[in-house]
């Protein structure tokens, strides 16, 4: 009765309950058949008669009758109506939709009903006409079933359909998701939301049907009809999906053809498609020998549509026709009219163009006179139009390491310290620390406006908001404390935006709740009231910063030095390129462990803060200044960091300080662990840069002068941004520019502060250098590699450009490294092979490029302490944090080397004697590099070869070869891992990772759903890395060199190779613009745009015109 809201004043309720109970008891005593579990023998009519003697004035009887009918065996579920006012319930199989961006519930449900164990919903029915699969069947199980069906004798003629379905489904999501997510859940998502489902599209393409339970009725409709219905509600349950058999018709001499397509950032899955398609039909041969298609089903989805659709106009146009260029061209035009992305869809023109490419790929093997990406097929081989896929190349890696016995065990490839703890899951990170008693959890409330007064913060009524204990904001900072969340040499950044939020993503406060889940949900349900009255418009771009003269000052001693006389260099030039723009976007750190901290109040107004920080010393000072307490009252502990890449230096302080403030105020432990979306929105990343270059050069490619105007988007606070100009010029000076001048401005904008990220500045500067070299080579029609080598430094010019870092002439190894790499990688032979490949392949093009590296490194002062304990064990403390770079491993090796030489005979007795005599068995030191060792140069080179698909823009990285001068490596295995990892992260920056914001500057690439770092299927198919031993050097630590950052710069070779492949494609299709700028990053959408969005149309038009002229 209570569940059905069947009681109002309540006076009649007891009598009603007794009437219901009597009816139930009498029904159970009857001889009626046993009802299904959960119901009684009572019928609906008996339930309605049960109250004939009872009276009620309040309810109108309906809820009372419904309550009684809920027990009836023959109740109509629609009449039952329980879901109308019962607890908030969600029916799930694995609830994997909670991880899907845009479809994740922002509230909690009272109950989750798991239907995964209902046998009828996971059953498989094999029939002569096809196969029916229960809706709760996991996707991986569905793949297994379809594979079995494809190999069965009953399906021999139509096995191509099931085989292609399994191949495509194997690229949906990840193995973990496919093992739990159900096929029905995927289709329901596609029906309820504009969810870019691959499964719905490919099942639509094979004319699947679905069986539904709508209240008590069972319906069977086509998948196409189901997708077009209004979004399903809890009254609708998907029971099963039926996939028909498609067999060849021997009487009509036709064969089944079926192909599926998807364009996605990752070829093997774990990336949503920009567009997908499935096309099915029959192909037969006319008496004249021409091939004809019939019974076509063409489905397209994920292109920015409410759901997958059939291209019926295209089907009708093609059915029964011989595929001539003009027929295919008309089909393309009809498809362009059909595929219309919704407003707001990203890359709409790209998606339409790729749809055309899919159609062209499907039709071209059966068309007369058309050279498509597949081979022209005869009726006997018409099962599939698929061709060899470069993604099927084996993944291999050859590693060459050179170790040294000079300082054994230093120089040996010893395995990383604590690796067993990491692999077994026993390594303790900050969030693994058990929650202390009475621990609370915090989540940031952040601004969604770039510049606005914060007038009010409130919550939407919800289950989550009911669990909120309080909100901590700037007003809760103690008297004497400061509103500070980060600090470095050049200034502070506030912890909270108060009273003005200065950028979208700025923290406004912290929601405190009893669990992290409630805190996260409450944080998403906050409603912030803003006011922009009397405020100027926000500055969001570097162009706006220039207009408003909004800059951060770069101290004169930090500003890089110019070289030579630019005017004189330009006067010597034979050719000039003037004011050409190049742009590089930002990059998010994407450490695996997001920002996290645990703050615990201690005695006497002190705090212990566990922080995932690369710089805990500075975190201590920021926390203490915020709370207005002595530094000595704050203890910051960092055992290890789950990835940092610079993002956990200054950017980690905000989280640690916020947790400390909350714990200090509430006098209870507070844990904060940013979810991925919040981390991506708030933390920042690499500096976006826009540059303009003017360059003069000789006809042989030698550059005589270069001038740069550079705008760096630093965001709202200086952070480390005033250091970036020097870092950029260090990377750019790797070539001898003759004369080099520049004007660099660090722009203050209303964006998230940008900070140091692996190889900061050097990455952008080095890329700009490569863009200039390639532009010069293109203008002169010279090989870019020759132009590079023409502008390599001599030792004299190296000293001119790097006066403090060049070192001795014998240490300048770039020329030998570059030549070694060209030889070991067979560069010249491969370059010639690529020319032949490009001549033979119209729709796939390859490119190869080799780039050099000069990277300036400045070792920092560092403390160290060595203690011998009473049992003879050693404790070594160093001024560094283990972030995965192998610091502890190298310290152990160095300790064994150093102390192993000193350990005398009779050491045990000596140790006892020292203890008895109170000898200090600890020694401390603070190492400060001398003038000669304050900076040095790393050298290296990298070659990359790529292949692009002209129809989709997809990039396959075929091979990369690196040679890297690591000095005398302290641990070749560790250093090689750093080199390779750094290079792959660089591929992400140059190719994959699109860091996008909305019109207010709020990051919208805020999840793995849309932000794609490199994965195992996007790294080089063959990866060869060599650590070169460049020999002894007295001014470096045991002659070693840095390995963690410089190799990232070499990933520019991938970008340059992509540019070469695009140039080949443009040349193939008659473009006169072979000199072009390719900004960073260069994802597949941009590659396709640069190749041409209308290349298929133009190709078919040219064939049609030729055909018309021939007929005339």
Q: Which residues are annotated as a binding site?
A: 9, 12, 56, 58, 182-186, 198, 238, 262, 614, 645, 758
Rounded Cα distance, 1048 and 960, in Å: 13
Which tokens belong to 376? 């022209």
DSSP 353-416: HHHHHHHHHHHGGGSTT---SSPP--GGGTT------GGGSPPEEEEE-----TBTTBTS-PPP
How far apart (Å, rounded) are the C-alpha atoms in residues 976 and 415?
A: 12
The answer to whether 159 touches 151, Cβ cutoff 8 Å, is: yes
Residue that has been written with the tokens 């339930």 in this structure? 47
Distance of alpha carbon 379 from alpha carbon 285, whole angstroms: 7
Query: Of 1046, 1037, 681, 1102, whose CA–CA distance to 894 is shortest?
Result: 1037
Using CA atoms of 265, 266, 271, 274 in order, give the dihedral in degrees to the nearest 10. 40
CA 170 to chain CA centroid, Å, is 20
DSSP lists the bridge partners of residue 900 as none
Q: Which residues of 919-951 are buried (b: 16+ CB within 10 A; e: fewer)?
A: eeeeeeeeeebeeebebbbbbbbbbbbbbbbbb
Residue list, annotated binding site for [2Fe-2S] cluster: 9, 12, 56, 58
| Annotated binding residues for FAD | 182-186, 198, 238, 262
| Distance, CA of 681 to CA of 621 (rounded, Å) | 25
Q: Is 604 exposed, middle or buried (0-12, 13-18, 19+ CB in 10 A)?
A: exposed
DSSP codes, 252-287: TTEEEEEEEEEE-SSTTSSS--SEEEEEEEEEEE-T
Tell me if 878 sits within 8 A of 887, measured CB to CB.
yes
Q: Is 472 exposed, middle or buried (0-12, 13-18, 19+ CB in 10 A)?
A: buried
- From the list 493, 1045, 1060, 1068, the catalytic residue is 1045
Rounded Cα distance between 202 and 165, Å, is 7
- The count of residues in the chain is 1112
Cβ count within 10 A of residue 1098:
12
User: Can you read off the two tokens belonging to residue 863?
Assistant: 């403390």
Closest CA to 183 of 211, 221, 159: 211
Say if CB 238 and CB 188 are below 8 A apart.
Answer: yes
Phi/psi for 785 (5° steps) reads -65, -40
Helix 325-338, helix 1095-1111: angle, nearest 10: 150
Binding residues for Mo-molybdopterin: 614, 645, 758
CB of 650 closer than 8 Å to CB of 755:
yes
Q: Is there a catalytic annotation at residue 832?
A: no
Q: How far is CA 961 from CA 202, 848, 945, 976, 981, in A?
A: 39, 11, 9, 13, 14
Report how far residue 2's alpha carbon sits from residue 493's, in angstroms, rounded to the nearest whole number: 55
Dihedral, CA of residue 96, residue 99, residue 100 and residue 106, to nearest 10: 110
SS3 556: helix
Q: Which of the residues are catalytic?
A: 1045
């Amino acid at each position: 009765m209570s569940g059905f809201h069947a009681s109002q004043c309540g006076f009649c309720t007891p009598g009603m309950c007794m009437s219901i109970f009597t009816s139930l008891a009498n029904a159970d005593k009857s001889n009626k058949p046993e009802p299904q579990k959960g119901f009684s023998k009572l019928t609906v009519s008996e339930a309605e008669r049960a109250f004939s003697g009872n009276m009620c004035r309040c309810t109108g009887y309906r809820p009372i009758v419904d309550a009684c009918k809920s027990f009836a065996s023959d109740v109509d579920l629609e009449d039952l109506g329980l879901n109308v006012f019962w607890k908030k319930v969600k029916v799930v199989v694995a609830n994997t939709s909670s991880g899907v961006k845009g479809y994740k519930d922002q509230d909690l449900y009272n109950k989750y009903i798991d239907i995964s164990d209902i046998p009828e919903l996971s059953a498989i029915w094999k029939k002569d006409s096809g196969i029916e699969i229960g809706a709760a069947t996991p996707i991986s199980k569905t793949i297994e079933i379809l594979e079995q069906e494809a190999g069965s004798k009953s399906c021999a003629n139509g096995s191509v359909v099931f085989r292609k379905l399994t191949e495509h489904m194997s690229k949906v999501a990840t193995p973990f998701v496919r093992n739990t997510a159900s096929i029905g859940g995927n289709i329901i998502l596609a029906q309820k939301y504009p969810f870019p489902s691959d499964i719905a599209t490919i099942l639509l393409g094979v004319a699947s049907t679905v069986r539904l339970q709508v209240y008590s009725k069972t319906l069977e409709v086509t998948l196409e009809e189901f997708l077009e219905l209004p979004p399903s509600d809890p009254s609708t349950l998907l029971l099963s999906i039926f996939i028909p058999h498609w067999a060849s018709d021997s009487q009509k001499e036709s064969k089944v053809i079926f192909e599926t397509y998807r364009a996605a950032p990752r070829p093997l899955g774990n990336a949503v498609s920009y567009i997908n398609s499935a096309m099915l039909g029959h192909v037969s041969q006319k008496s004249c020998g021409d091939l004809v298609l019939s019974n076509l089903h063409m489905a397209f989805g994920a292109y920015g549509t409410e759901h997958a659709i059939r291209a019926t106009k295209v089907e009708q146009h093609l059915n029964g026709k011989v595929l001539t260029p003009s027929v295919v061209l008309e089909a393309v035009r009809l498809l362009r009219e059909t595929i219309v992305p919704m407003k707001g869809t990203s890359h709409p023109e790209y998606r339409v163009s790729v749809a055309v490419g899919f159609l062209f790929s499907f039709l071209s093997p059966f068309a007369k006179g058309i050279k498509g990406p597949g081979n022209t097929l005869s009726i006997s081989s018409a099962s599939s139009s698929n061709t060899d896929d470069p993604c099927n190349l084996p993944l291999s890696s050859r590693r060459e390491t050179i170790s040294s016995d000079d300082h054994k065990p230093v120089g040996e490839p010893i395995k990383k310290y604590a690796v067993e703890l990491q692999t077994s899951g026993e390594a303790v990170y900050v969030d693994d620390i058990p929650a202390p008693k009475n621990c609370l959890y915090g989540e940031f409330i952040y601004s969604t406006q770039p510049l606005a007064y914060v007038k009010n913060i409130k919550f939407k009524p919800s289950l989550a908001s009911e669990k909120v204990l309080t909100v901590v904001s700037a007003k809760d900072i103690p008297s004497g404390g400061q509103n500070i969340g980060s600090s470095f040499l050049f200034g502070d950044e506030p912890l909270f935006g108060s009273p003005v939020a200065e950028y979208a993503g700025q923290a406004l406060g912290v929601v405190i709740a009893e669990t992290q889940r409630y805190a996260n949900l409450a944080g998403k349900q906050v409603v912030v009231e803003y006011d922009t009255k009397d405020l100027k418009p926000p500055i969001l771009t570097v162009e706006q910063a220039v207009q408003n003269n909004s800059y951060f000052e770069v101290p004169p001693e930090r500003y890089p030095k110019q070289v030579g006389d630019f005017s004189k260099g330009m006067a010597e030039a034979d050719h000039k390129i003037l004011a050409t723009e190049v742009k590089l976007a930002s990059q998010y750190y994407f450490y695996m462990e997001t920002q996290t901290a645990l703050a615990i109040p201690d005695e006497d107004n002190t705090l212990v803060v566990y922080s995932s920080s690369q710089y805990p010393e500075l975190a201590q000072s920021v926390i203490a200044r915020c709370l207005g307490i002595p530094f000595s009252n704050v203890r910051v502990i960092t055992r290890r960091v789950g990835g940092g890449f610079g993002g956990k230096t200054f950017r980690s302080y905000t989280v640690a300080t916020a947790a400390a403030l909350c714990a200090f105020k509430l006098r209870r432990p507070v844990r904060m662990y940013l979810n991925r979306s919040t981390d991506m929105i708030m933390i920042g990343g690499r500096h976006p840069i826009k540059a303009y270059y003017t360059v003069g050069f000789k006809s042989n490619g030698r550059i005589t002068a270069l001038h740069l105007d550079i705008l760096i988007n630093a965001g709202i606070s200086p952070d480390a941004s005033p250091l970036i100009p020097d870092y950029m010029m260090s990377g750019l000076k790797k070539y001898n520019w003759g004369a080099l001048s520049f004007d660099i401005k660090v722009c203050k904008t209303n964006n998230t502060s940008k900070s140091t990220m692996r190889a900061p500045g050097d990455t952008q500067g080095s890329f700009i250098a490569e863009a200039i070299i390639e532009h010069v080579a293109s203008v002169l029609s010279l090989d870019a590699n020759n132009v590079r080598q023409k502008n390599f430094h001599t030792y004299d010019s190296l000293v001119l450009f790097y006066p403090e870092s060049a070192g001795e002439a014998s240490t300048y190894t770039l020329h030998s490294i570059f030549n070694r790499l060209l030889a070991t990688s067979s560069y010249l032979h491969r370059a010639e092979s690529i020319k032949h490949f490009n001549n033979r392949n119209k729709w796939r093009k390859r490119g190869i490029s080799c780039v050099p590296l000069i990277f300036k490194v400045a070792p920092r002062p560092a403390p160290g302490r060595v203690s011998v304990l009473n049992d003879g064990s050693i404790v070594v403390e160093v001024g560094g944090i283990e972030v995965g770079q192998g610091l502890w491993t190298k310290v152990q090796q160095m300790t064994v080397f150093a102390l192993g030489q000193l350990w005398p005979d009779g050491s045990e007795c000596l140790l006892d004697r020292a203890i008895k005599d109170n000898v200090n068995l600890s020694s401390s030191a603070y190492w400060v590099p001398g003038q000669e060792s304050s900076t040095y140069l790393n050298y290296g080179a990298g070659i990359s070869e790529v292949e692009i698909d002209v129809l989709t823009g997809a990039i396959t990285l075929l091979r990369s070869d690196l040679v890297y001068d690591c000095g005398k490596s302290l641990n070749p295995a560790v250093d090689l891992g750093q080199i390779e990892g750094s290079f792959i992260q660089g591929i992400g920056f140059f190719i994959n990772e699109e860091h996008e914001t909305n019109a207010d500057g709020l990051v919208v690439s805020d999840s793995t759903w849309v932000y794609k770092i490199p994965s195992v299927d996007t790294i080089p198919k063959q990866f060869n890395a060599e650590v070169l031993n460049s020999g002894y050097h007295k001014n470096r630590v045991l002659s070693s060199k840095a390995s963690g950052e410089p190799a990232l710069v070499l990933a520019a070779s991938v970008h340059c190779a992509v540019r070469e492949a695009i140039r080949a494609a443009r040349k193939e299709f008659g473009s006169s613009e072979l000199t072009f700028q390719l900004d960073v990053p260069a994802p597949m959408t941009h590659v396709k745009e640069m190749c041409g969005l209308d290349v298929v149309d133009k190709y078919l038009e040219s064939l049609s015109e030729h055909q018309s002229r021939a007929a005339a």
